[in-house]
A = this chain, B = another copy of it.
Amino acid sequence: MARVVMKFGGSSVENAESIKRVAKRVLQSQQSGNEVVVVISAMGDTTDELMDLALQVSPIPAPRELDMLLTTGERQSAALLAMALSDLGGTAKSYTGSQAGVITTGKHGDARILDITPGRIEDALGDGAIVIVAGFQGVSRSTKDVTTLGRGASDTTAVALAASLNADYCEIYTDVDGIFTADPRICSSARHVPEISYDEMLEMAACGAKILHLRCVEYARREGVPVHVRSSFTDRPGTWVRDPETTTEGTPMALEQALISGVAHDRGEAKITIVGVPDKIGEAARVFDAIAERDINIDMIVQNVSRVSTSRTDISFTLPKSDSRLAMEVLNGLKESVGFEELLYDDQIGKVSVVGVGMKTHPGVTARFFRALAEADVNLGMISTSEIRISVVVDADSVDRAVQAAHAEFGLDGESEATVYAGTGR
């Protein structure tokens, strides 16, 4: 008997029919011998509709009350799924995040899970019930108010519950079959990835792969929760996200790692360049402090070598397009005090990244990547690397060519499925 957490997103519970379909799938899992906990998102567009209603009442809705309002969406779908399960003869109980013991920080709209006290869930599982938990929400430890974890954070709820319940694994149901070596819409030769490590998945998520929430992967890695990302519309196996050691139930595998496990891209960023910053200690810090104060997340930062003639330097950084307007305002406000020359803004860019734990032990990956891009006539803007990732910023209209070139260069094209942790070398 396994203990499983199954998470279904809004697209899996759009209407009464799809809720009934999910109920059948959940009941099957229990009937095959599993203890089942379900984490569920709000139905289809419910959250957007509630947000519209809030904005009709108040242009800047009070954060505490917005959380109170938005959390009702998941409570509704959780209750409806429990009804559908009862109707099929199952025993099911729905719980709000608060009832399920999801204890969070007090930051409304973007709370962090501090602890989970799943006493009621354990009791219900002990009684043989299927437990359904409203995702995306918790209760503040200090104020006892209802909180939300930020959009899309039901994945995180699921993994956190799986960890605190010592579940064997967590299934994230979505509308695709899992992770691919590249976006199949760009790269027709992209292959399905049956397994990927936490570190690689984390880099993929950070580099624009939308399939799993970044925080969810971080949580899964920290707690060692195996995550199975799969389609709610088929029975095909999806992608397992877990440490390679656990591949064959604890027996360590001697394996030759593929150099690159996937190519990710992201068209959601813009680039800001601050031209002519006086090259004094602390100037860059002042700029980025001001940005951070407004809760704007910076991705890549590049600072050029100072021009000797002027003792001035240029600083470029990328950030989500949605934050760029605010960032430009903040920076313009600093122009006098910092004394830089001008601001340049460019949102016709894309970021292309290759990710793979194999590059740790294989030098020369960067060179191969850059050569392949050059041969595809792709001009590189900014460059940023981690131990298992290389990212470049390119012109927006070069993104597709860059993805295709990298995918071919690292041997990801082919007829068979990608086998990131294949037992034999290649």
Contacts and interface: CB of A to CB of B under 8 A. Distances in A.
A144 B124 CA distance: 13
Contact of A87 (B53, B58, B83, B94): B58
Interface bin, chain A: 35 or more
Interface string A35-62: 0000000000000001001101111111
A79 B65 contact: yes
Contact of A82 (B20, B53, B62, B99): B62
A393 interface: no
Contact of A54 (B20, B68, B78, B80): B80
Contact of A16 (B57, B62, B93, B94): B57
A16 B72 CA distance: 18
Interface string A115-153: 000001000000000000000000000001000000000
Centre residue among A65, A78, A83, A144 by max chain B CB count within 10 A: A83
B57 A84 contact: yes
Given A65-B86, A65-B94, A99-B144, A57 B80 contact: yes
Contact of A79 (B16, B56, B69): B69
Contacts of A86: 58, 61-62, 65
A66 interface: yes
A76 interface: yes
A64 B144 CA distance: 23
Given A16-B53, A75-B72, A120-B144, A83 B61 contact: yes
Contacts of A60: 87
B94 A68 contact: yes
Contact of A56 (B16, B58, B62, B94): B16
Nearest to A23: B57
A19 interface: yes
B99 A83 contact: no
Contacts of A87: 57-60, 62
A408 B78 CA distance: 56
Given A62-B82, A82-B62, A99-B144, A68 B57 contact: no
Contacts of A82: 62, 64-65, 68
B84 A80 contact: no
Given A53-B16, A99-B144, A72 B61 contact: no
A188 B346 CA distance: 73
B83 A20 contact: no
Contacts of A16: 53, 56-57
Contacts of A59: 87
Contacts of A57: 16, 19-20, 80, 83-84, 87
Contacts of A62: 82-83, 86-87, 92
A66 B54 contact: no
Contact of A58 (B53, B68, B69, B84): B84
Nearest to A60: B87
A66 B75 CA distance: 11
Given A16-B57, A72-B72, A75-B72, A65 B50 contact: no
A15 to B, nearest CB: 8
Contacts of A61: 83, 86
A87 B144 CA distance: 23
Interface string A13-43: 0001001100000000000000000000000
Interface of A: 16, 19-20, 50, 53-54, 56-62, 64-66, 68-69, 72, 75-76, 78-80, 82-84, 86-87, 92-94, 99, 120, 144
A-B residue pairs, 3 tightest by C-beta: A16-B56, A72-B72, A69-B79
15 contacts: A16-B57, A19-B57, A54-B80, A57-B83, A58-B84, A58-B86, A62-B87, A62-B92, A65-B82, A66-B83, A68-B78, A68-B79, A69-B75, A69-B76, A120-B144
Given A50-B76, A120-B144, 6 more contacts: A20-B57, A54-B80, A60-B87, A64-B82, A65-B86, A69-B75
